[in-house]
């Protein structure tokens, strides 16, 4: 444990920082240039792939997770896991809606808008709790 704490506490060379900085600048210019052209679905893949690469460089080199193994990595991994769970279940909720899982009135319709309803009887407002 003590060995693990000591190892990597001191980044002795500044060269990795400089290389990381140059890499981040190059990736930023690359993602901007690529975004000016339309690659269809690949535009999204390129942009997010480059973002993840840049984030990894910042986390591993600037934030030193390459050296600081163990608990700091666990803290970050846990946050990313919770983020993924939140994302997956919220998206899954919206994607799997069907009439019986929806309110019979439109809860976010603006004033004067008709309330869409999948039920035979529904102007909807009368069912509002």
Partner 1 sequence: MHPEAAAERHFSSPEFQRHAARLGMWTFLATEILLFAGLFVAYVEYRSLYHESFFQGSRHLDAMLATIETVVLISGSFAVAMAHHYTLINRSGWACVGLLLAAASGVAFLALHGVEYVTHFREGALPGKYYTFSEIQTSGISMFFTLYFLLTGLHSLHVIAGTGVLLWLAFFAARGAFSSQNYSAVENGGLYWHLVDLIWIFLYPLLYLIG
Burial degree of 99 (CB within 10 A; 0-12, 13-18, 19+): exposed
Q: Which is nearer to partner 1, 48 or 118 (CB)?
A: 48
| Piece of the chain touching partner 1 by CB under 8 A; list 81-89, 97-105, 111-119, 121-129 | 81-89
Assess 28 for contact with partner 1 (CB under 8 A). Answer: yes
Q: Which two tokens stand for residue 14?
A: 């500044």
Assess 102 for contact with partner 1 (CB under 8 A). Answer: no
DSSP helix/strand/coil, 8: coil
The answer to whether 113 and 124 are in contact (CB under 8 A) is no
Contacts of 5-13 with C-beta under 8 Å, sequence gap 24+, read 7/67, 8/64, 8/66, 8/67, 8/68, 8/69, 9/67, 11/64, 11/67
Assess 43 for contact with partner 1 (CB under 8 A). Answer: yes
| Piece of the chain touching partner 1 by CB under 8 A; list 43-51, 96-104, 113-121 | 43-51
Interacting residue ranges for partner 1, rule: CB under 8 A: 2, 5-6, 9-12, 14, 17-18, 20-21, 24-25, 28-29, 31-32, 35, 38, 43-44, 47-48, 50-51, 54-55, 58-59, 61-63, 68, 71-72, 75-76, 78-80, 82-83, 86-87, 90-91, 94
């Amino acid at each position: 444990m003590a060995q693990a704490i000591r190892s990597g506490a001191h980044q002795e060379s500044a060269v990795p920082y400089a290389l990381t900085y140059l890499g981040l600048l190059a990736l930023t210019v690359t993602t901007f240039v690529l975004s000016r052209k339309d690659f269809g679905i690949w535009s999204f893949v390129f942009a997010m792939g480059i973002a993840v690469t840049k984030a990894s460089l910042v986390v591993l080199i600037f934030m030193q997770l390459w050296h600081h193994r163990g608990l700091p990595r666990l803290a970050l991994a846990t946050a990313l896991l919770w983020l993924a769970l939140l994302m997956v279940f919220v998206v899954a909720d919206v994607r799997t809606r069907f009439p019986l899982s929806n309110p019979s009135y439109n809860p976010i319709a603006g004033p004067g808008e008709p309330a869409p309803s999948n039920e035979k009887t529904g102007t909807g407002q009368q069912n509002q709790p």
